[in-house]
C-alpha cells in the first residue's frame, strides 16, 4: 500500500482556515477518523461547529519519508493550499464574468483570454500577450521603411 498526501477542503472557512493537508497510508480509515473528530485537532473543531469537508488525494508515494517530505514542502514552501487544492482550482475556473471590450474586441479581465476580435487593449500591444497582439496599420516612415501606428513595428515598404 502506498502513502498518500491529501488535502481537505472545508465547506466553509473556520476562522482563517479553509484547508487541511495530511498524509495517510489508508486514506479511507484516516477520513473516518477525521469525520468522527478523532483525527487532527482542526478537524475536531470543524465537527464541533458542524462544518463539512471534502478530500482530494494530491500525490501517492511508495514510502513514508517521501510523502512526509512532500507534505512539508506543500506546507512550508507553497503555503497556500488553494494553489494545489483540486476543489479550489475547479471552483476558480474563469466563467468570463468580468469582460471588457471596445470596437477591437473583448477580453476577460480575470484570465486575459481573448473572447472576440483582437481582444481589448491588444491593438496597442502591451497589456495582453497574444499571437494576435496588433492589427498593424503601417504608414510610410522613411524612404523604403514603414512603421505600425499602434505598436511601432518597422518593416520594409515592399514586405506585405
Model pLDDT for residues 59-77, shown as the tens digit of each residue: 999 999 999 999 999 888 8
3-state secondary structure 92-137: CCCCCCCEEEECCEEEECCCCCEEEECCCCHHHCCCCCCCCCCCCC
**Do 77 and 127 fall into the same domain?**
no
**Do 54 and 117 fall into the same domain?**
no
Q: Which of 45, 69, 91 is the last residue of a domain?
A: 91
**Do 105 and 150 fall into the same domain?**
yes
Model pLDDT for residues 104-159, shown as the tens digit of each residue: 677 776 666 777 776 666 544 444 444 445 667 777 777 778 877 766 677 787 75
All three cell numbers of 118, joined, read 483582437
Q: Are 20 and 40 in contact (CB under 8 A)?
A: yes
Q: Which of 91, 123, 139 is the last residue of a domain?
A: 91
Helix crossing, 41-48 with 27-36: angle to 10°?
50
Strand partners, 52: none
**Do 68 and 105 fall into the same domain?**
no
**Do 21 and 37 fall into the same domain?**
yes
Tell me how many domains the chain contains.
Answer: 2
Alpha-carbon dihedral angle through residues 49, 59, 90, 87, given to the nearest 10 degrees: -10
Q: Is the pTM of this model over 0.85?
A: no
**Do 37 and 116 fall into the same domain?**
no
**Do 74 and 104 fall into the same domain?**
no
The parent domain of residue 34 ranges over 3-91
**Do 15 and 33 fall into the same domain?**
yes
Give CA–CA dist 111/91, Å, rounded: 14
Q: Which of 91, 116, 131 is the last residue of a domain?
A: 91
Amino acid at each position: 500500500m502506498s502513502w498518500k498526501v491529501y488535502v481537505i477542503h472545508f465547506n466553509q472557512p473556520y476562522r482563517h482556515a479553509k484547508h487541511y493537508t495530511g498524509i495517510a497510508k489508508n486514506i479511507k480509515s484516516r477520513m473516518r477518523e477525521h469525520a468522527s473528530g478523532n483525527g487532527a485537532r482542526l478537524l475536531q473543531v470543524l465537527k464541533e461547529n458542524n462544518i463539512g469537508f471534502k478530500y482530494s488525494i494530491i500525490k501517492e508515494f511508495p514510502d513514508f519519508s517521501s510523502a512526509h517530505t512532500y507534505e512539508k514542502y506543500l506546507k512550508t514552501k507553497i503555503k497556500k493550499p488553494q494553489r494545489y487544492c483540486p476543489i479550489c482550482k475547479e471552483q476558480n475556473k474563469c466563467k468570463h464574468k468580468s469582460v471588457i471590450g471596445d470596437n477591437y474586441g473583448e477580453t476577460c479581465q480575470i484570465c486575459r483570454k481573448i473572447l472576440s476580435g483582437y481582444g481589448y487593449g491588444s491593438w496597442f500591444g502591451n497589456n495582453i500577450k497574444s499571437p494576435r497582439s496588433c492589427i498593424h496599420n503601417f504608414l510610410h516612415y522613411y524612404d523604403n521603411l514603414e512603421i505600425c501606428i499602434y505598436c511601432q513595428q518597422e518593416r520594409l515598404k515592399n514586405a506585405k
